[in-house]
Structure 1
Amino acid sequence: MAANGASRPVAITMGDPAGVGPEVIMAALSALPAEERRDIVVVGSRAVLERAGKVVGSALTVGLRGQPGNHGVIVEEVEVPGLKAEFGRLDPSCGEAAFRYIERAVRLTEAGETAGIVTAPINKEALNKAGHKYDGHTGMLAALTGSKASFMLLASPRLKAIHVSTHVSLRDAIGRATTERVLATIQAGHEHLMRVGYERPRIAVAGLNPHCGENGLFGTEDVEFIAPAVEQARALGIDAHGPISADTVYFRAYNGAFDLVVAQYHDQGHIPMKLVAFDTTVNVSLGLPIDRTSVDHGTAFDIAGTGKADHGNMLEAIAYGRRLAASRG
Structure 2
Amino acid sequence: MNPRLPIIAITLGDPSGIGPEIIIQTLQKWSFPAIPLVIGNRKVLNQAEEVTKTSISWQKFSESISNPGPYLLDCSNVDLSSFRWGEVSSRSGQSSFDYIQTAIQLALKGKVDAVVTAPISKEALHLAAVPFIGHTEIFKELTKSSVALTMFQLDQLRVFFLTRHLSLLEAVKEVKKEKIYKFLLEMDQYLNSMGLFSARIAVAALNPHGGENGLLGQEEIKEINPAIEESRKLGIDVKGIYPADSVFWFARQGRFDAVLSLYHDQGHIATKCMDFYGTVSVTLGLPFIRTSPDHGTAFDIAGQGKANHRSMVESCRWAVEYAFAYRDFIKRTSGKKESNSD
Give the alignment's TM-score, normalised by structure 2: 0.84
- Percent identity between matched residues is 39
Q: 1:225 to 1:287 in 2, by over 3 A?
A: farther
Worse overlay, 184-193 or 151-160:
184-193
CA contact (8 A) 1:46 1:62 kept: no
- Determine the structure 2 residue equivalent to 1:43: 39
- Determine the structure 1 residue equivalent to 2:126: 128
Instruction: Say yes or no: does 1:205 pair with 2:218.
Output: no
Q: Secondary structure at the match of 2:246?
A: helix
Matched letter for residue 48 of structure 1? V
- Determine the structure 2 residue equivalent to 1:15: 13
- Determine the structure 1 residue equivalent to 2:293: 295
- Determine the structure 1 residue equivalent to 2:74: 77
Q: 1:304 to 1:133 in 2, by over 3 A?
A: same
Q: 1:138 to 1:212 in 2, by over 3 A?
A: farther
Q: What per-residue deviation string (whole Å, max 9, x for no partner) do you get for residues 121-169 of structure 1?
A: 1122222332335443223211222222222111122422111122333
Paired residues, number: 325
Q: How far apart, CA to CA, are the structure 2 residues paired with 1:293 and 1:169?
A: 25
Q: CA deviation at 1:274?
A: 1.0
Q: CA deviation at 1:108?
A: 0.9
Q: What per-residue deviation string (whole Å, max 9, x for no partner) do you get for residues 242-298 of structure 1?
A: 332212322332333322111112211111111112222221111222211111221
CA contact (8 A) 1:61 1:71 kept: no
Q: How does 1:40-119 map to 2 (within 5 A)?
A: 40-66=36-62, 73-80=70-77, 85-119=83-117
Q: How far apart, CA to CA, are the structure 1 residues paired with 2:84 and 2:281?
A: 27
Q: What per-residue deviation string (whole Å, max 9, x for no partner) do you get for residues 202-221 of structure 1?
A: 11111223344445555444
CA contact (8 A) 2:16 2:83 kept: yes
CA contact (8 A) 2:13 2:118 kept: yes
Q: Secondary structure at the match of 2:319?
A: helix
Q: How does 1:149-168 map to 2 (within 5 A)?
A: 149-168=147-166
Q: 1:289 to 1:178 in 2, by over 3 A?
A: farther
Q: How far apart, CA to CA, are the structure 2 residues paired with 1:67 and 1:201?
A: 37
Q: 1:181 to 1:134 in 2, by over 3 A?
A: farther
Q: How does 1:151-300 map to 2 (within 5 A)?
A: 151-300=149-298
Q: How far apart, CA to CA, are the structure 2 residues paired with 1:171 and 1:141?
A: 28
Unaligned runs of 5+ in 2: 329-342
Matched letter for residue 44 of structure 1? G
Q: What per-residue deviation string (whole Å, max 9, x for no partner) do you get for residues 24-72 of structure 1?
A: 0011001115x957x111112121111111111121144542399x996
Q: How far apart, CA to CA, are the structure 1 residues paired with 2:199 and 2:278?
A: 21
CA contact (8 A) 1:14 1:44 kept: yes
Q: Secondary structure at the match of 1:284?
A: strand
Give the alignment's TM-score, normalised by structure 1: 0.87
Q: How far apart, CA to CA, are the structure 2 residues paired with 1:133 and 1:11?
A: 23
Q: What per-residue deviation string (whole Å, max 9, x for no partner) do you get for residues 166-212 of structure 1?
A: 23333333344344443343233323433444342211111223344
Q: Secondary structure at the match of 1:246?
A: coil
Q: Secondary structure at the match of 1:108?
A: helix
- Determine the structure 2 residue equivalent to 1:310: 308
Matched letter for residue 259 of structure 1? D
Unaligned runs of 5+ in 1: none
Q: How far apart, CA to CA, are the structure 1 residues paired with 2:60 and 2:42?
A: 7
Q: What per-residue deviation string (whole Å, max 9, x for no partner) do you get for residues 64-123 of structure 1?
A: 42399x996422233547685411111122222222211211111011111110111112
CA contact (8 A) 1:162 1:185 kept: no
Matched letter for residue 128 of structure 2? A
Q: How far apart, CA to CA, are the structure 1 residues paired with 2:114 and 2:239?
A: 32
Q: 1:64 to 1:165 in 2, by over 3 A?
A: farther
Q: Secondary structure at the match of 1:165?
A: coil
CA contact (8 A) 1:11 1:116 kept: yes
